Structures are given as structure tokens and as C-alpha cells.
Amino acid sequence: VRLRVDDREVASGTLGEQNTIGTASSQLFIGGFPDGIKPSANEMPITESMIGCVSNIFIDYQLVPIIPEAHVALIGTCPVEQIFSLQKSGKKFN
């Protein structure tokens, strides 16, 4: 399992032969979990939501489509980048 950010590998790990990640019918949450869903500690030790923007998700080197209508998401824009840009310029973000 590898995590790449901006084309750089930032984390990796190896699963044992008996370990799997989910099933074909499992849901994959990227950036955080919806209200009411709490994974068990042995499944996912980190439950804090991500702050930032996600694009180009690949699983087994295949691009996975992002469906913004299914969740609160925006395509083609990154509000976090706008906030940082305003902070650098000294303007306030409302």
C-alpha cells in the first residue's frame, strides 16, 4: 500500500498474505468519515478529517472517478488554496 502526494511517496506499508483492505462492495472514504460512521480502531487508527484538496485518486493504477454530488465536494476548485492565498496577501477570508 502506498500513499503519494504531489507525485511523491509519503507513506507505504506491506500487508500480510491474509490481510485485505475492504471488499468489492466496501466504501472508501477519502478526507474523513461522514457523521455517524466510526471505524473500529483496528481498521483505521486515524479518525481526524483531512484539510485540503484531493484530486486524481488511483487504485491499482486506475483513475477513480470522484462524484461530488454524492458528498459535499467541489470539482476544479480548491477553497483551501484560496484561503492560503488570501492569508499571504494580508486580506481577510469571510
Does any domain span residue 23? no
Question: pLDDT 10s per residue in the chain (94 long)?
Answer: 787 877 888 888 877 777 666 677 777 777 777 777 777 666 655 666 677 777 778 888 888 877 655 556 666 667 666 665 655 566 554 4
Neighbours of 29 (CB within 10 A): 13
In a domain, 40, yes or no: no
Residue 89 lies in a domain: yes
Q: Give how many domains the chain has, as a whole number.
A: 1
Is residue 88 domain-resident? yes
Within-domain flag for 25: no
Asked whether residue 5 is assigned to any structural domain, the reply reads no
Structural domain that includes position 83: 50-93
For residue 93, the model assigns a pLDDT of 45
Q: Is residue 26 part of a domain?
A: no
User: Is 63 inside a domain boundary?
Assistant: yes
